[in-house]
Copies of this chain bind each other. A is one copy, B any other.
Amino acid sequence: MSALFQTFLEEARQLVDKKLPEYVRELEAEHRLKEAMLYSLEAGGKRVRPVLLLAVLEAYNQPILHGLDTACAIEMVHTYSLVHDDLPAMDDDDLRRGQPTNHKVFGEATAILAGDALLTQSFALIANADAPLSAKTKVSIIAALSKAAGASGMVGGQLADMFAEGKQLTVEQLANVHKRKTGELLAFSIEAGALIAGVSNEERSKLNEFGQEIGLLFQIKDDILDVEGDSIAIGKPVGSDAVNNKSTYPGLLGLDGAKTMLHTHYDRALQVLDELHLRGTLLEDLAKYIVTRDH
Contacts and interface: CB of A to CB of B under 8 A. Distances in A.
A110 B115 CA distance: 15
A32 B121 CA distance: 27
Contacts of A123: 123, 142, 145-146
B139 A135 contact: yes
B151 A27 contact: yes
B29 A121 contact: no
A159 B110 CA distance: 7
Interface centre among A32, A113, A151 (most CB of B within 10 A): A151
Contacts of A145: 123
Given A139-B127, A143-B127, A146-B120, A155 B113 contact: yes
A162 B121 CA distance: 21
A172 interface: no
Nearest to A123: B146
Nearest to A150: B120
A121 B109 CA distance: 22
A34 B160 CA distance: 12
Given A127-B142, A127-B146, 16 more contacts: A27-B151, A27-B152, A29-B155, A30-B151, A30-B156, A32-B159, A33-B159, A89-B108, A110-B159, A116-B116, A116-B119, A120-B149, A120-B150, A123-B145, A127-B143, A135-B139
